[in-house]
Structure 1
Amino acid sequence: MKSFVLTCERWSSGLALAGACAMLALASSLGMFQILMRFVFEEPAEWTEVLIRFSLIWMVFLAIPVAFRQGAMVSVDVLYRWSPPALRRVLDAVVCLASLTLMGVLIWWGWDYARRGGVQTMAGLESLSMFWAYLAIPVGGVFSIPGIIGNLLDPRREELETAQ
């Protein structure tokens, strides 16, 4: 069961990271296009600014699962270093529970926020609903859950272990 969960986590985190990388590439490309249009052709493309912001939001929320998997989101290093192994597992469980609770709140309210924001349109892109920008919140939360559980089952603390 543990190996199945970790395989699913690896797959979902890889998919989320690929999406985050694609959003970074899109934001970079649109930024270069905007610079070219504004300063070389003196015809600014205002729509690129909106899409850059949109892609950066998605990039952040899709990269969060990888940070959770690496144990980089919630860190109690000093307490963890000073604790005996039994207390370390308790700390891992508390951090996991707190993180899952936070993700539950983000998924619930993020979905509600996306639905309510669906009536708005993006300034500069009137044909695109704000639903798609706000949807990054619950999607990032859903992708984070396997990373949080994966970190509990198979913690990665290479940085913490080398610092001791």
Structure 2
Amino acid sequence: MKQTFLRIERFTSGLALAAACAMLVVASALGVFQIVTRFVLEQPAEWSEILIRLSLIWMVFLGIPMAFRQGAMVSVDVVYRLCPPIGRRVLDWAVAIASLALVLVILWWGWDYAVRGKVQSMAGLESISMFWGYLAMPVGALFCILGIIGNLLDPQRNELETAQ
């Protein structure tokens, strides 16, 4: 059961990270496009700015799950090093519970915002609903939940300094 969950979690975290990387590529390409149209062609494309913003929002919310998975979101390294092994597991559980509580709030209110945003349209892209912008919060939160549980079941500590 644990191995199956970890396999699913690794797949979903990798998928979220790949999508976050794709959103960074989209934002970068649109940024170059916007610079060329604004300063070279002197015909700015207003729609590119909102798409850059939208892709950056999606990039952040899809990149956060990998940070949770690697234990990088809540850094308590000093306390962790000073604790005995049983204290470390208690600390792992405390961090996981606090993180899950925050992510569940983001999931709940993110979905509420997305549903309420259906009636709004994006400035510069009137045909696209704000639902798609706000949807990044609950989607990212769902991936985060899997990453938090995955880190609790199989902690990964990527230390910056090497053991001596």
What do the CA deviations read for 1:85-112 (whole angstroms, capped 9, x no partner)? 0010000011111111111111111100
Q: Distance in 2 between matches of 1:64 and 1:158?
A: 16
Q: Distance in 2 between matches of 1:121 and 1:111?
A: 17
Name the residue aligned to 2:151. 151
Name the residue aligned to 2:141. 141
Q: Distance in 2 between matches of 1:98 and 1:29?
A: 37
Q: Structure 2 stretches of 5 or more lacking a match?
A: none
Q: Distance in 1 between matches of 2:124 and 2:146?
A: 36
Q: Distance in 2 between matches of 1:154 and 1:41?
A: 53
Name the residue aligned to 1:116. 116
Q: Structure 1 stretches of 5 or more lacking a match?
A: none
Aligned partner of residue 133 in structure 1, secondary structure = helix
TM-score when normalising by structure 1: 0.96
What do the CA deviations read for 1:15-58 (whole angstroms, capped 9, x no partner)? 10111011101000100111111111111101100000000000
TM-score when normalising by structure 2: 0.96
Deviation of 1:160 (Å): 5.8
Q: Distance in 1 between matches of 2:160 and 2:84?
A: 15
**Pairs aligned (count):** 164
1:1-164 alignment runs, 5 A limit: 1-159=1-159, 162=162
The answer to which of 116-125 and 44-53 deviates more is: 116-125
Q: Distance in 1 between matches of 2:17 and 2:113?
A: 24
Contact map agreement 1:77 1:160 (CA 8 A) in 2: no
Tell me the percent identity: 71
Deviation of 1:162 (Å): 2.7
Q: Distance in 1 between matches of 2:160 and 2:92?
A: 14
Structure 1 runs of 4+ aligned residues shifted over 4 Å read: none
Deviation of 1:125 (Å): 0.7
Contact map agreement 1:31 1:52 (CA 8 A) in 2: yes
Query: Residue 93 of structure 1 aligns to which amino acid in structure 2?
Result: W
Contact map agreement 1:30 1:52 (CA 8 A) in 2: yes
Deviation of 1:158 (Å): 2.5
Task: Say if 1:151 and 1:36 are closer, same or farther in 2 by CA, change over 3 A.
Answer: same
